[in-house]
A and B are shown apart, each in its own frame.
Chain A
Amino acid sequence: MLQLVCIKQVANTETRIKVAADGTTLDPSGVTWVLNVYDEFAVEEALRLKEALGAGEVVLASVGGAGVTTTLRNALAMGADRAVHLKTDDPAPDGLQVARALSALVTELQPGLVWMGKQAVDDDASAVGPMVAEMCGMPCVTVVCKAAIEGGVARLEREIEGGRELVEVPLPAVLTADKGLNEPRHASLKGIMAAKKKPIDERPAALGAPGLERLALELPPPRAAGRIVGEGVAAVPALVQALRDEAKVL
């Protein structure tokens, strides 16, 4: 079975956000780029399934600019077989556009499973997985925190408000990964060396027209300065009084 894992290169979560000159995107200067953390779980789960089956292929796909190669190589070093880099100069295509580009690849490769993270930790849109599924006529389960895949059926758990939902879905399907699905491996030295020789197929991303018009990226107004109500147990009554009478939240 061919598994397609869609990954995104994002700014490290410790990044202090600066707005680029265009006023609508992240200023890339000084940013450390990493594999989106939820996509790591997706890559790991696909690799584990391939290892369990003892057969098949794990193919990575990513939409982005030239710098994405580094992140693709890092994910190849985890053990994926090859990658497709869907190239674009747009620093922030929207979910509909990315889903269009990926769905064309899904149609071409006919994977048994399409994996990706539940969201990218930059635009936080959580849109691409279900959109790809709709465009390709596949079922989709999002925010998967436990997966058992056997005999063409995936038995999954996903977190919902106040509990976990148990879901069954026939393959082929699109699955989006949540934290807790697994503990992603670190690339071994051997993996890193091997990744240098693995093929990355570069082609233009067929994004189509934007689904959203980007008007602005803005930093939130700083919170008004708070105050220290005091130290230790002695300050507890003052804290409770402030919460009740000033903030009116109790």
Chain B
Amino acid sequence: MSILVYIEQRGGAVRSVSRETLGEATRLAAVLGGPVVGVCCAAADPGLAALGEAGAEQVLLAAHPAFAQYDSAGHAAAVTAAAKQVGAKVVLFSASSIGKDLAPRVAARLSVGLATDCTALAVESGRLVATRPVFAGKAFQKVAFPASPAVASLRPKVFAPVSAAGAVAAVSALPFEWDASAPRAVVTGLAGASGGKADLTESEIVVSGGRGLKGPEHFHLVEALADALGATVGASRAVVDAGWRPHGEQVGQTGKVVSPKLYVAVGISGAIQHLAGMSSSRCIVAINKDPEAPIFKVADYGLVGDLFEVLPALTAEVRKLHG
């Protein structure tokens, strides 16, 4: 009876979200018992032994040349095989792009339910209970798992990794069936790479701009502050719908839901659907000229003022701090 963790890699590097998932698996194992076992699909071993330090006792490597890219059908077959091989009672994914795509396939193959994008896992009266935001965080749902294994995906940036310095995970090959005849989606390339900047959902700091910027030509003010903070740029629905910014930057109920340690809302009034997407951030700063704007009700720190004056001053002050 193990806790199985899907280890995500892109381009031959393990993604940091997997260390978060391993961290939670380690905490669950202390209550539920059983080893923490990773399963990774890759063309070659991306240095899995090092995941011992993140809490994995063992990692199963499903190796196939096609796994140089994400191969949904192959990954689903491999992870399902791993769950059966280790007798998993819990299977955890990160609720990343891959995890959101893969976890439902694995749950369907195992004929069990799935709790996606969880923000807390707990053991209550001996059974696993998952807490997950619904209505984009306007409410939280608690669910239990009637069948085994319990399959869940965890929201990025919510669960802390652990550090077991010097520990080494035992890496072994996972036998799994590669069905060459199955019709499959094949990744043929990548486009629009963001130049190494963290994705909104995985950023420590997010700076979002809204209609208060008055036009796309002023977004460089938001970008400059984001640069100074090492942050990722987000946007409100209003400016995305107006075509000022790409929809991939939208924060809110019909965009991305983020929980960074610092969220800076600039010229955003705070419509309920925007608040739903960012109110789980650890610290919220609002800059708006309207002291009555709803955004100030969720902000830890508010600054009332003209963003065209405040932003350059704030950017300069942050630069000074970082020297």
A227 to B302, CA, bound (A): 6
Chain A residues with CB under 8 A of B261: 249
Say yes or no: is B58 at the interface (Cβ < 8 Å to chain A): no
Instruction: Indicate whether B262 reaches chain A with its CB closer than 8 angstroms.
Output: yes
B70 CB–A CB distance under 8 Å:
yes
- B147 contacts partner chain A, Cβ-Cβ < 8 Å: yes
Contact between chains at B107 and A96 (CB < 8 Å)? yes
Verify B146–A223 contact, CB threshold 8 A.
Answer: no
Q: Does A141 contact B (CB under 8 A)?
A: yes
What CA separation (Å) do A244 and B262 show in the bound complex? 11
**Known contacts A131-B107, A168-B186, A229 near B114 by CB under 8 Å:** no
Contact of B108 among A131, A143, A233 (CB under 8 A): A131
Q: Interface digits, A210-232 against B, CB 8 Å rule (1 contact, 0 not)? A: 11111111111001101111111
In the complex, A167→B196 CA distance in Å?
21
B174 at the A/B interface (Cβ < 8 Å)? no
- Give how many B residues have a beta carbon under 8 Å from the other chain's beta carbons: 99
Which B residues touch A216, using CB under 8 A? 141-142
Is there contact, CB below 8 Å, between B309 and A211?
A: no
Take A124-B116, A217-B140 as given contacts and tell me if A229 and B145 are in contact as well, using a CB distance cutoff of 8 Å: no
Asked if A220 and B137 make an inter-chain contact with CB atoms under 8 angstroms apart, the answer reads: yes
Cβ-defined contact, A16 with B272, below 8 A: yes
- Give B254's nearest chain A residue, CB to CB: A37
Chain B residues in 8 Å Cβ range of A220 = 137-140, 279-280
- Is B191 among interface residues, defined by CB-CB distance under 8 A? yes
The answer to whether B186 touches A167 (Cβ under 8 A) is yes
Report the Cα distance A242→B301, complex, angstroms: 8
Stretch at the interface among B22-30, B44-52, B128-136: B128-136
B189 near A179 (CB under 8 angstroms)? no
Instruction: Give the residues from 122 to 143 in chain A that come closer than 8 angstroms, CB to CB, to chain B.
Output: 122-131, 133-135, 137-143
User: A130-B104, A217-B141, A249-B282 in contact; A159/B302 too (CB < 8 A)?
Assistant: no
**Known interface pairs A96-B114, A173-B185; A244-B321 also in contact (CB < 8 Å):** yes
In the complex, the answer to whether B298 meets A223 with C-beta atoms within 8 Å is yes
Contact in complex: B114, A11 (CB < 8 Å):
no
* Closest CB in chain B relative to A217 CB, distance in Å: 5
Closest residue on chain B to residue A14 by CB atoms:
B272
B residues in contact with A1, CB < 8 Å: none
Question: Distance (Å) between the CB of A202 and the closest chain B CB?
Answer: 26
> Once bound together, how far apart are the Cα atoms of A195 and B139, in whole Å?
35
A237 at the interface (CB under 8 A from B): yes
Would you give the shortest CB distance from A142 to chain B, in whole angstroms? 5
A155 to chain B: closest residue by CB:
B188
Compute how far the CA of A179 lies from the CA of B253 in the bound complex, rounded to whole angstroms: 12
Q: Which of B89-114 contact A (CB under 8 A)?
A: 96-98, 100-105, 107-109, 111-114
With an 8 A cutoff between CB atoms, is A70 at the interface? Answer: no
B306 CB to nearest A CB, Å: 7
Contact B114 A122 (CB under 8 A): no
Whether B101 contacts A142 by the Cβ 8 Å rule is yes
Asked if A124 and B134 sit within 8 Å, CB to CB, the answer is yes
**Closest B residue, CB atoms, query A235:** B303
Quick one: CB contact mask for A145-180 with B, threshold 8 Å, 1 for yes? 100000000000111111111111110010000111
The answer to whether residues A121 and B135 also contact, given A213-B143, A214-B143 and a CB cut-off of 8 A, is: yes
Given A126-B104, A170-B183, are A214 and B141 neighbors across the interface (CB < 8 Å)? yes
Q: How far is the CB of B262 from chain A (nearest CB, A)?
A: 4
A105 to chain B, nearest CB (A): 16
- A130 CA to B306 CA in the complex, in Å? 47
Q: Which of A69-98 contact B (CB under 8 A)?
A: 94-96
- Whether A167 contacts B301 in the complex (CB less than 8 A), given A94-B113, A123-B134, A134-B108, comes out as no
B194 lies within 8 A of A162 (CB): yes
In chain B, residues 183-199, which have Cβ atoms closer than 8 Å to a Cβ of chain A? Answer: 183-194, 196-199
Kindly identify which residue among A179, A218, A224 contacts B250, using a CB–CB cutoff of 8 Å.
A179
10 contacts between A and B (CB under 8 A): A17-B138, A124-B136, A124-B257, A125-B114, A126-B100, A130-B72, A211-B113, A219-B140, A223-B300, A231-B304
B residues at A contact (CB < 8 Å): 70, 72-73, 76, 96-98, 100-105, 107-109, 111-117, 129, 132-147, 182-194, 196-199, 201-202, 205, 229, 246-248, 250, 253-255, 257, 261-262, 271-273, 276, 279-280, 282-285, 291, 296, 298-306, 309-310, 313-314, 317-318, 321
- Give chain A's interface residues, CB within 8 Å of chain B: 11, 13-17, 19, 24, 26, 37-38, 94-96, 99, 121-131, 133-135, 137-143, 145, 157-170, 173, 178-180, 209-220, 223-224, 226-233, 235-237, 239-240, 242-244, 247, 249-250
**Given A128-B104, A250-B321, 15 extra CB contacts under 8 A:** A13-B136, A14-B273, A121-B253, A124-B117, A130-B101, A134-B105, A157-B191, A161-B202, A162-B197, A162-B198, A166-B191, A179-B247, A212-B114, A215-B144, A249-B261
